[in-house]
Structure 1
């Protein structure tokens, strides 16, 4: 079992090969197209691809990650990208962080924490302002344990669409997107097939 603690993520980012400007996943533009830019939290921001994209669209972005190395890389990309809406970079463990505010958009993309996927998503949901949106992009769980997807992502890092949507069954939320996609990414020049689960939920009240 993988322990997604601070040491794990610090090693992950410290040992990672230096790469060019990060590319946000393709769902971000699609799922936020109808939203009016306001405040946004990129939870588990990594190298900052989604945070930088949101800032360029006019969102006032807070970007949080447990790894100082990841945040250092993200700040370097921000400096190269040039002027955008300023981003607030915060080193924080999402399993324990208790922000004193909420955001109109909370985004998480392939983030994993010690507490597990569903518990993480529940914490993120509590940081969405009334009327705001939570966008979750995760690694879709497979029924076939031998698939290459599982070699890349441990079982505890995957999640089903049904499990995520089950978190938002109460009247305070409405599900606006619930899909799975297969796409090919090219990290470091290699071709990797990804099976993604995408859920977008809107908070109707503060309850």
Structure 2
């Protein structure tokens, strides 16, 4: 998979655009800036937006080409982000370091997804917020983006399990109209969540 993402992010344009995910941006505006962790942030559109809003940002991804584009975007926007090049299963997230985290279209194998979520939750301070937007299993068959493997798509029940250790304040599966570069475009079935670490 690393080769897949390096190849995708090596395309000249920002393949998911340079604007932040809309739900992420909406939710971030309701929070007081602090430290935020963004696993699998790819080309850095969400990391850079958070930095523009005053957050101390750490992005983690294993794509070298993604990191290069993220740092260029940050430079173009006049902000700084920390971008760690690492496999999510090997990265040390720490304990009670961050005030917020976001999983924006993070689709990982079942064998590792639970560990990644739990490590990120552990890295949050009590009261820390988690923002999630992911494709649901009902996205299968649509051409608006996302994996074609049901095993790495989400249900509300799966997210409830992954987010154990938090209070889920809001969760909804809905159809949205995506316009995020050339790979997230059109009507899509997603699940959005806001959770708070206990």
What TM bracket, shorter-length normalisation? 0.7 to 0.9
1:137 is aligned to 2:130: no
State the match for 2:174 in structure 1.
181
Give the Cα separation in 2 of the matches to 1:151 and 1:58: 30
**Bigger radius of gyration among the two:** 1
Query: Aligned in 2, Cα 1:151/1:88: closer, same or farther, shift over 3 Å?
Result: closer
Give the Cα separation in 2 of the matches to 1:176 and 1:74: 31
Q: Does the residue aligned with 1:137 lie in a helix, a strand or coil? A: strand
1:46 is aligned to 2:39: no
Give the Cα separation in 2 of the matches to 1:41 and 1:176: 20
Q: Does the residue aligned with 1:148 lie in a helix, a strand or coil? A: coil
Query: Aligned in 2, Cα 1:12/1:37: closer, same or farther, shift over 3 Å?
Result: same
Cα deviations by residue, 1:66-97 (Å, 9 ceiling, x for unpaired) = 10100101111112112x3x211110111221
State the match for 1:31 in structure 2.
27
The RMSD of aligned alpha carbons is 2.5
How many residues are treated as equivalent by the alignment? 193
1:32-181 aligned within 5 A: 32-82=28-78, 84=79, 86-101=80-95, 102-114=97-109, 115-142=111-138, 145=140, 147-148=141-142, 152-154=146-148, 155-169=150-164, 172-181=165-174
Give the Cα separation in 1 of the matches to 2:87 and 2:146: 23
Give the Cα separation in 1 of the matches to 2:184 and 2:46: 21
Give the Cα separation in 2 of the matches to 1:137 and 1:38: 21
Q: State the TM-score, normalizing by the size of structure 1.
A: 0.81
How many angstroms does 1:199 deviate by? 1.4
Runs of 5+ in structure 2 lacking a partner?
none
Give the Cα separation in 1 of the matches to 2:113 and 2:93: 19
